[in-house]
Amino acid sequence: MAQEPATRKLKIIAGADSFGCTLKDNLVSQLRDLSIEVEDLGTNKYYSVGEEIGRRVSQASANPDPSVETRGLVACGTGVGVGIFANKFPGVYAATCVTPEEAHNARSINNCNVLAVSGMLTEPDAAKKILQNFLDTPFKSPCPAFGSNPWPAEIETFLENSVSEMSGIGKSEEKVDVPCDLCSLLKNRKEGDFTPVDIMPGASMKIIRENPTSALVRFKAGAMEPAHHHTFGHDLVVTKGSKRVWNLTKGTKYDLVAGDYLFTPAGDVHRVKYFEDTEFFIKWDGHWDIFLDEDLAAAHAAAEKDAN
């Protein structure tokens, strides 16, 4: 993988849990002082932060913008947990760095595109140096791991080939049929088990557990969920159909099909359009509730405007 052009704009997506948020805020200020574009996702559970930023960086890696390079910045108490969950996504190379030299090595050797830092172990001044090395170090450049000397030709060739080889790890051409509780539940569902959702035309729901609430949900093709929010965050997996989710709080949108997963943080205002008859499993972090932020007519108008 060749080094990115020097003119390519850098964008950083940042987030943290409650143990890393203060350090993350300091580093976000540093990035903005450097006139680097930052999308700050705020504070959430460490695994939710790692998941969201890992998924976003993975999407950017799979569909690269020729003018923008997207990287991630995650922080938790140790810097380890957020890195673990960011690394669950293809094309993501998250590294937990507690010294500037580690950040230098991670960029040079591993083409690290998500920096994970420790809010409990790393002082702000040290973290700023770590971040600066993460920003400034190109892939395959001389680094402390090799005495800051240029790489020999055979090692540079190894590094050049490593990114594509690493991205293939874990992929298999063989399909393995693994029993799944959710799949079994969906297979045995019956039409009469679903109750219409009065405030959402075209929607029906089967509650599986009351608190924290989990449910199977169906929407008819063409249906809309007007902009709304919940007291608790929720995870969902699409099992059939296709939908578009606009997270209005974060200014992002996601096109989801069968097999896709999405976490929406507590309080985030979001709108949804269904392109086909769609089913999904959803789990809230607490008892299900809903607060509408627009009416159905406004939702349809906004979706039509976005389509144009």
Q: Is residue 173 part of a domain?
A: no
From 11, 39, 40, 25, select the one nearest 128 (Cα to Cα): 25
User: Residues 103, 14: one domain?
Assistant: yes
Q: What is the pLDDT of residue 171?
A: 61
Q: What pLDDT shows up at residue 1?
A: 38
* pLDDT at res. 179: 53
- Whether residues 117 and 207 share a domain: the answer is no
Which H or E element spans position 208? strand 203-209
Give the pLDDT score at 63: 85
The single-letter code of the amino acid at 18 is S
Helix (H, G, I), strand (E, B) or coil at 279: strand
The residue with tokens 């580690």 is 102
The CATH number assigned to the domain holding 221 equals 2.60.120.10
What's residue 3's pLDDT? 43
Task: Residue 147: give its domain's CATH number.
Answer: 3.40.1400.10
Q: Establish if 175 belongs to a structural domain.
A: no
Low-confidence ranges of the chain (pLDDT < 70): 1-7, 170-192, 308
Does one domain contain both 136 and 281? no
Confirm whether 1 is domain-assigned.
no
In a domain, 3, yes or no: no
- For residues 71 and 185, membership in a common domain is answered with no
The whole domain housing 64 covers 9-168
Spatial distance between the Cα atoms of 292 and 289, rounded to a whole number of angstroms? 10
Answer yes or no: pTM beyond 0.75. Answer: no
CB 43 within 8 A of CB 102: no
* Same domain (yes/no): 240, 149: no
Domain-embedded: residue 176? no
| Chain position carrying tokens 């709080």 | 249
User: Of the residues 114, 136, 168, which one is the last residue of a structural domain?
Assistant: 168
On whether both 86 and 231 belong to a single domain, the answer is no
The predicted structure's pLDDT at residue 186: 55
- What's the total number of domains in the chain? 2
